[in-house]
Chain A
């Protein structure tokens, strides 16, 4: 305790100029809407203003099926149990029910590939017609695909960064394909929000998320620099052990301590934003704005409270319906692989977007009707 007190005194003695620097920078940032310290407000030309994003109204594929899909098929989802998995599971269950298919969610431990392999093999052996995987590297299950193919099992891969390969029927919401676009959308919103001032952004990534992290980060940086030559973008990689524990916020605070001109913090996934706003405010970085990719319900509340500037809504329940649609297309002679290059509907939601309720909307709003219409299923 004496040591802690001595440490505090030492730091307090050394900190007066630093703390006043932070304070004055924060005040000027608040007053002028300008970033802190190093870069002077810039007259750099900003690209076309991004209008308030409208909710999408169309699905990525709108071609009706040639025939109504056969009933009684079995869908198995290998569910890691995290929030995105729960939402996808809800969509899968509802879509399967609409086609009178049977749906089962099998829990797996994503940290232990052996559970995935076991669940996959069991699903094939017990008569699954469709197996859905989420955010799983193909290397973990590639050796199981030939056996699945031999039994005519369709494998739908959602939210991964895998490349197309024999045995994978469709890639839904593929990060490697779509990540760059998500990053570009967030970069556009950042520049629009900055109103001509120089942006110094930090993109919060996680190596454990693999190439999705890289795709979003690269897309963001590329779009930012293309439209604003003096703007900068850096990355804050979060260790796997810090995710979810609230410890990732301390990594972000440490980064901002060293890079005090950072005025925007962009998360490649909402899963990396745990207590960040509270930690930043506590450390005096109130002026840094947050943007979130792949948002969750909790982010809507934060947006409405002014703690988040913008978020990108990638509707996971709709993804579930898209997975079932891909399987239905494959079963009725259609081209399910068209999804490999069609991004899911996304909605850029800002503080000026009018939302009803405090949960993340699934878009397009009438998606269930659109799917049922394509499937020739009555409501």
Chain B
């Protein structure tokens, strides 16, 4: 069926090419051509974009861009966004949109700082309390979506606003200086060679998420739920329970992101959360066009580095303040356009 072949894209054609062996060296050529097709597949375009950005900015600013400081600051700046992107991705796999991740992270920032000023707690205990509070938001979202059948966008938007309101309440309009121990501040401010610890947290979380979501049965069930919830339920997949757990996991990961951020920045403001949503969504949706045609960990990591490198390069070139939001917005539009064109090809 030629139509199906065409719709399958370059990948199947490349494999078909690889399998042909005329026994006269053409097999090797075919293999290389196949690799080339695979490499030029749009699903791996992020890799090329990243290399191109590195090349361009290194050429434009050779003294400033390809430096240790640039690597450290990109990885440090993108770490929290990466953690939140993983949080956003989990419900997306089940077909839900969670817009409360930034609000919950912002709440965690303020709540942890406020708690530290009110009572002297061991950092482990403080983190546990904050993560439990964050989980509360996930439980509310999950219950409203799965039990009452409310749309996830509406629900999580409401939860986000509640989280913001609570953050404002705890902050009281002030910027709080948390009274963490020096060792706890190092949790967010230390480095391992050139890699900031927050990025290592993201990397570890990404590996765990990859194993769970891509290699384990629960991940398959999550994907099946997102692909076709009705068919999955009929096949015996506990759709509602998985969706509840997905929203719960997203909230806990968001709370963790907030803890990383407050130790990284050293102050807490109730205005922190909302500003994180656009970069996170841009990362997740751009990542969904990479490697696999759905939200995935590797694609998200690629997108994170592409966006972080792009923003950093633009800053070093001395761009105007509006460029940052413009860049994130454009990348989000590009991601959505790519995804839409994939759907169009499929149809």
Contact = CB atoms under 8 A, between A and B. Distances in A.
Interface of A: 1, 3-4, 7-8, 10-12, 14-15, 18-19, 22, 81-83, 85-86, 207, 237-247, 249-251, 253-255, 257-258, 270-271, 274-275, 277-279, 281-284, 296-298, 301-302
Contact of B67 (A15, A249, A255, A298): A15
Contacts of A12: 68, 71, 194
Contacts of B324: 239, 241-242, 247
Contact of B315 (A83, A241, A250): A250
B265 A278 contact: yes
Nearest to A85: B173
B67 A239 contact: no
Name, among B64, B203, B275, the residue most crowded by chain A CB atoms within 10 Å (CB to CB): B275
Contacts of A244: 269, 271-272, 275
**10 pairs of A and B residues whose beta carbons are closest in the complex:** A275-B265, A244-B271, A86-B173, A254-B315, A245-B275, A239-B321, A14-B66, A15-B68, A246-B265, A18-B67
A18 B63 contact: yes
Interface residue SS majority, chain B = helix
A93 to B, nearest CB: 14
Contacts of A279: 73, 76, 265
From A15, A86, A277, residue with most partner B Cβ within 10 Å:
A15
B196 A241 contact: no
B325 A278 contact: no
B69 A257 contact: yes
B196 A86 contact: no
Interface string B104-136: 000000000000000000000000000000000
Contacts of A247: 77, 275, 324
B335 interface: no
Interface stretch (B28-36, B88-96, B148-156, B174-182): B174-182
B321 A246 contact: no
Contacts of B73: 250, 253-254, 257, 279, 282-283
A249 B71 contact: no
Contacts of B207: 1
Contacts of A86: 172-174
Contacts of B185: 278
B312 interface: yes
A1 B189 CA distance: 21
B266 A81 contact: no
23 contacts: A1-B206, A3-B305, A4-B305, A7-B305, A11-B67, A14-B66, A18-B66, A18-B69, A19-B69, A86-B172, A241-B324, A242-B324, A244-B269, A246-B264, A246-B272, A247-B275, A253-B73, A254-B73, A255-B315, A258-B318, A274-B269, A282-B191, A302-B177
B50 to A, nearest CB: 6
B54 interface: yes
A29 B272 CA distance: 34
B18 interface: no
Given A4-B301, A257-B69, 10 more contacts: A8-B194, A11-B71, A81-B173, A239-B325, A245-B276, A257-B67, A275-B264, A277-B266, A279-B76, A284-B69
Interface in B287-345: 298, 301-302, 305, 309, 312, 315-316, 318, 320-322, 324-325
Interface string B231-264: 0000000000000000000000000000001001
Contacts of B174: 83, 86, 296-298
Contacts of B305: 3-4, 7
B229 interface: no
A301 B265 CA distance: 15
B70 interface: yes
B72 interface: yes
Contacts of B17: none
A278 B264 contact: yes
A283 B61 contact: no
A283 B264 contact: no
A298 B71 contact: no
Contacts of B140: none
Contacts of B203: 1, 4
A1 B301 contact: yes
B321 A278 contact: no
B267 interface: yes
B72 A282 contact: yes
A3 B63 CA distance: 22
B175 to A, nearest CB: 5
A257 B316 contact: yes
A237 B320 contact: yes
Contact of B322 (A85, A239, A283): A239
B168 interface: yes
Nearest to A19: B68
A8 B267 CA distance: 29
A258 B195 contact: no
B47 interface: yes
Interface in B43-66: 47, 50, 54, 58, 61, 63-64, 66
